[in-house]
Amino acid sequence: MTSSEPPTQQPASRRIAEELRRQIHAGEIATGEKLPSERALAEQYGAARNTAREAVRLLAEQGLVTAKHGRGVFVREPQRLFRFGSDRYSIKNRETGLTPFRLEAKRQGKEPRIEVLYIEREVPPLDVAERLGVPADEQSVVHRENHYFADDEPVQIVSTYLRWDEARDTLLMQAKTGKDGIYGRLEELGHTMTRVRDEISARMPTPEEAGILHLVPGVPILEVLHTSLDQNLKPFEVSRYVHRADQTGLLYELPVE
């Protein structure tokens, strides 16, 4: 004779989080509205304060709320910064004088900021060496490491690799590369972008990436390995984009050949 075990009861913190999530999705707690304090939530749901704190943490993990130091916890606006893959390198956009990221951010009502962390000659990662067609066992590339922000919130890490023999002794070794950014300087070196290849994958972040992008546990990243090809279909630049998946969308509109 076998006995059936009673169903496991859902933890109180998860029940509170699900009720708050329902209220947020229903608009009962509006975007930008401040959540009740942990003490108020604990009293409202007849739970311990630690339980209420865990419920709020679960909501933050799901990207529904964000904590603002000294002010409280607020419902986040469900807004993504889109990367327009088929349009971002268009020649017509050159008239703006803005780099692709700055133009995309401005068009979406965001204030862009870019921090250049370093520019160094390096041995390339194997996947970069293969796509750029350079030796993988010597310092054959220049690595430009940038962090990108929208409204002062970190949204992507960009590692750009260029051939050392082309970039040396040019503005490509400087943080400020002039009008049209690195693509303007690469055009001067004889590389006009005519085709791009974006390889997109999703994965969990490394601890370093999670720290840079201020990710809460459980939020994945989108990785775009971008290769630029010139008028001779020769690859001349490879960039690895690491986007936080909860704030990034990818949009591609391509002709069907």
Q: Is the predicted pLDDT of residue 246 greater than 70, yes or no?
A: yes
**How do the domains of the chain map onto residue ranges?**
12-75, 81-251
Instruction: Using CB atoms within 10 Å of the CB of residue 41, give its burial: 0 to 12 exposed, 13 to 18 middle, 19+ buried.
Output: buried
Top-confidence residue, 193 or 104 = 193
> In this structure, what token pair is assigned to residue 51?
């339980």
Q: How far apart are CA 141 and CA 14, in angstroms?
A: 49
**CATH of region 81-251:** 3.40.1410.10
pTM above threshold 0.75: no
**CATH of region 12-75:** 1.10.10.10
Look at residue 86 in the predicted model and tell me its pLDDT: 65
> In this structure, what token pair is assigned to residue 194?
């005519």
Q: What is the mean pLDDT of the chain?
A: 87
**Segment among 42-46, 56-60, 194-198, 222-226 with least mean pLDDT:** 56-60
What pLDDT, in 10s, does the model give residues 221-238? 999 999 999 999 999 999
Q: How far apart are CA 196 and CA 175, in angstroms?
A: 24
Among residues 10, 30, 80, 18, the alpha carbon closest in space to that of 55 is found at 18
What pLDDT, in 10s, does the model give residues 54-99? 999 888 877 788 888 888 898 877 666 677 666 666 766 666 667 7
CA 237, 224, 94, 99 torsion: positive or negative? negative
Q: How far apart are CA 61 and CA 135, in angstroms?
A: 42
